[in-house]
Chains A and B, each alone.
Chain A
Amino acid sequence: MNKLVKKTLITAVLAAAAFALYYNFSLLPGYQDLEKGISDYIITYGLHDTGSLNLITAVLYDYRAFDSLGESTVIFGAVSGIVLILSRKMLPVSSKGLSFIVKRTLGIMTPFIALFGFYVITHGHLSPGGGFQGGVILAAISIIFSIVYGSAFDYRRYSPQTKTVLETGGALTFLVIGLAGIVMEGAFLKNLGFLTAERGTLISAGSIPYINIGVGFKVGAGLAIIFYSMIQKTFEEDF
């Protein structure tokens, strides 16, 4: 009974809050009528300023690159924290996998998945995509490996140490490009002018592709580390 009362009460409060919010939000003018000083500026001058065709990438890695630095630092910290919380002395691994057919099929598909991941990372300034998205695809390869071939396979290929080195390397790339901005352009994380090339080519848009590559490796390695820390428990029974 007590529980039911609580439930009804909470539901009523939430419904009232929802109603108030809805009423409030319906007063918002449509998006066209809103003040949009910034977005107009970016749409007009974004390509000119950064050389990146993808304006979202221009915002992420150039105008607001500091936010992206903070964001990749958040992943870095979360990975360190998860490793700290779930750390064991030895990583239990399993060499069991799925059936032969699945293994073979995946063996054929893996290079293409990797290629797609690298494509998304390196073309972040030209087409939809970028470091985070491509990094997630790269991390998926590692996860698929451990499901299909058993975690021992992936463990032997890319040991946790390698992944940690990749992750820290990615973070360092971002930081070094930022610091190079101070030395060469006079502001932290400013787009490096000497790297600019013809617009629309693969290596253009200043330092954006390099930041993308750094972030891509960082996110890929970081997510793989998170996955491996989490599955350890599952494989203890195999030992």
Chain B
Amino acid sequence: MLTNLIFIILFMLGFYALIMKTNLIKNVIGLNLMEAAIFFWVISFSDIGGEVSIHKFGETMGKFNDPVPQALTLTGIVIGASTAALLLTLIIELNKFSGTIDRDQIEELND
């Protein structure tokens, strides 16, 4: 299935960026890419071709998509945003101390 393929490729690209790139900002991007891949997969996998799960006034609606994965994804996105903000904050702070955001040039982060 195409959805699964895209999810896995995106996820692995993100994971690769997370562990192999030496730029810390790229690591954050990798982490976000992993999260985004999962959210994308959750939403597109639970799409059964129905309508958006919102009732309209006085209309009888057809088949709805499952609202639960969408709600879970919203929560997940918010958590991802908070962690990304926190990570970037720490990177700003680290840049102030060591003058670089390259993992290779900061001792003790090499593993």
Q: Are B4 and A22 in contact (CB under 8 A)?
A: yes
Once A71-B78, A71-B79, A86-B92 are accepted as A-B contacts, the answer to whether A39 and B85 lie under 8 Å apart by CB is no
Please give the number of chain B residues whose Cβ is less than 8 angstroms from any Cβ of chain A in the complex. Answer: 42
* Cα(A54)–Cα(B65), bound, Å: 12
A56 to B102, CA, bound (A): 41
Cβ contact within 8 Å between A56 and B67? yes
Secondary structure of the A side of the interface?
helix
Q: Mark B1-36, 1 if CB is under 8 A from A, else 0.
A: 100110111011001100110000000000000000
Interface residues of B in 25-57 (CB under 8 A from A): 45-48, 52-57
Are the CB atoms of A43 and B53 closer together than 8 Å? yes
Which single residue of chain B is at the shortest CB-CB distance from A68?
B75
Q: Is the pair A58, B67 in contact by a Cβ cutoff of 8 Å?
A: yes
Contacts known (A39-B66, A55-B55); A233 close to B92, Cβ less than 8 A: yes
B79–A60 CB distance below 8 A: no
Is B19 within 8 A of A25, CB to CB?
no
Contact A230 B88 (CB under 8 A): yes
A104 smallest CB distance to B (angstroms): 32
Q: Which residues of A contact B (CB under 8 A)?
A: 7, 10-11, 14-15, 17-18, 21-22, 25-26, 28, 31-32, 36, 38-39, 42-43, 46-47, 53-56, 58-60, 64, 67-68, 71, 74-75, 77-78, 81-82, 85-86, 127-128, 132, 200, 226, 229-230, 233
